[in-house]
A and B are shown apart, each in its own frame.
Chain A
Amino acid sequence: DTGVSQDPRHKITKRGQNVTFRCDPISEHNRLYWYRQTLGQGPEFLTYFQNEAQLEKSRLLSDRFSAERPKGSFSTLEIQRTEQGDSAMYLCASSPRSGGPNTGELFFGEGSRLTVL
């Protein structure tokens, strides 16, 4: 399968614990995005990378959140000291290079659902 893959699909944790999600994008895509989706809402942009560089972070991304893409391939999203309000689906997406077909179109993974008790 050559789509975007995310791991784990589901994570249940206690408040105050740290969690980490991994995303493997489509291999030829240079851009990688993280979105968060709560129940009954559309996804909200969190951050994105072009290769290994993190180019933009939303103000939704508090200092407890950190994202990395160390070699320009897979990415991780870590949440420290989780709170109940962090419960959501965390979606990763990738996008091909600008200028070609599908510019700006996102290919989403299946998401990682986080439940903070």
Chain B
Amino acid sequence: TQLLEQSPQFLSIQEGENLTVYCNSSSVFSSLQWYRQEPGEGPVLLVTVVTGGEVKKLKRLTFQFGDARKDSSLHITAAQPGDTGLYLCAEGLQSDTSYGKLTFGQGTILTVHP
């Protein structure tokens, strides 16, 4: 079973600061998804990356997939209190039979103070 390690586990910053969170594995990812989860709610998909070296942007969020597909990062520019939440990375299989069966990391808890 693939183990995903996320770092840091906790991150507390002031509004306007930049931050980066990481997701690493010892094995190659089939594909990687990033989710954001607010307290008491289910995770919400932010992005899926599949190709090594891929970079995707979603407003102030930039997602990178490592060339070797064993790591990924999420960079947030000018963080806002609304960015507060649990950020989860998850590996998804691309096979027709097992897609949707995800292995999640433990997450990074981000708190952005006004």
Contact, CB under 8 Å: A43 / B33: no
Q: Which residues of A contact B100 (CB under 8 A)?
A: 31, 33, 48, 93, 95, 104-106
**Cα A104 to Cα B35 with chains together (Å):** 13
Residue B90 at the chain A interface, CB threshold 8 Å: yes
- Whether a CB of chain B sits under 8 angstroms from the CB of A40 is yes
Chain A residues with CB below 8 A from B88, complex form: 42-43
- Across chains A and B, the number of contacting residue pairs, with CB separation under 8 Å, is 71
Report B42-73 residues with CB < 8 Å from chain A CB.
42-45, 48
Residues of A within 8 A of B (CB): 4, 31, 33, 40-45, 48, 55-56, 91, 93, 95, 98-99, 103-111, 113
16 sample A-B contacts, Cβ–Cβ < 8 Å, listed by A number: A31-B99, A31-B100, A43-B88, A43-B104, A45-B102, A56-B101, A91-B42, A93-B100, A104-B31, A104-B33, A105-B48, A106-B43, A108-B42, A108-B43, A108-B44, A111-B41
